[in-house]
Amino acid sequence: MLRISAFKERQLKVAANSEGAAAGVANNPEAMNIDDNASLLLPFTPVAPLPSSLTAIQEWEGYVTEIHETSFEASLMDVTRGMRYETEKAELLISDLSSEDRERLSVGAIFRWVIGYQTHRGMRQRVSQVYFRKMPDWSMVELAAVSKRADELLESLGLT
């Protein structure tokens, strides 16, 4: 049985409060009756909620694979279709990132890419936005909980 970490519990609370959160739909090969408990536990959730004025039509979660002078390449997981693995790739422009996100750009960095409509003062505009994940501020309690889970696993493996 997979546990939900303290951090991921926090993500779920954020998602519950967020209008813009996407409810991930898990692949579930019922026809083969394969136990797929893992897919039921963790719907896709952002660290920070989307602006309430943004209606997403398409979302990917991606991670950076290569960085060039003016662009970066990424592997993409189609969250809208409920994928759990990367099946696509693309090259995106660094100039399209906010200055904050440019600082977060590094190989392996995880981001969300949303295409949708943003409404502002009654005007509707089609947008494409990339949000890099902010590294969470881990509380001492959360860090201790992670360490405890690691200790429990080590003990069960006889590695204490």
Partner 1 sequence: MTPPDNDEIELSLFGPGFGECVVVHAGSSHWAIIDSCIDAANGVPASLYYLHQMALDPKVAVKMVMVTHWHDDHIRGISKVLRACTCAKLVIPSAILTRDFVRAVVEADEKTVSANSSGVHEIRAVFESEQMRNNPVLAGENQIVWSISAADLAHATPFELRALSPSGQQTLSMWRRIGKDFAAAKGRRLPQAGSNDLSIATWMTTAGEAVLLGADLEVHADPTCGWTPVINLAQQLPGTKAAVFKVPHHGSPTGHDPAVWQFMLQPNALSILTPWTRGSGLPRAEDLVRIRQFTNHAYATNLNQMVAVARRDPVVSKTLRDLNIRLEPAEGKLGHVRLRKKPGAPWAVDLFGPASRFSP
Q: Does the protein bind partner 1 through residue 10 (CB under 8 A)?
A: no
DSSP 13: H
Q: How far is the CB of 145 from partner 1 (least distance, A)?
A: 9
Q: Does the protein bind partner 1 through residue 29 (CB under 8 A)?
A: yes
Q: How far is the CB of 101 from partner 1 (least distance, A)?
A: 14
Q: Does the protein bind partner 1 through residue 40 (CB under 8 A)?
A: no
Q: Does the protein bind partner 1 through residue 25 (CB under 8 A)?
A: no
Q: Does the protein bind partner 1 through residue 118 (CB under 8 A)?
A: no
Using CB under 8 A, pick the residue from 98, 136, 139, 144 that binds partner 1.
136
Cβ-contact 87, 76 below 8 angstroms? yes
Cα(102)–Cα(97) distance, integer angstroms:
6
Question: Which residue's CB is nearer to partner 1, number 79 or number 97?
Answer: 79
Q: Does the protein bind partner 1 through residue 94 (CB under 8 A)?
A: no
Cβ-contact 74, 80 below 8 angstroms? no
With b for 16 or more beta-carbon neighbours within 10 A and e for fewer, the 34-60 pattern comes to eeeeeeeebbbbbbeebeeebebeebb
Closest CA to 96 of 111, 75, 81: 111
Using CB under 8 A, pick the residue from 17, 68, 70, 85 that binds partner 1.
85
Q: Does the protein bind partner 1 through residue 49 (CB under 8 A)?
A: no
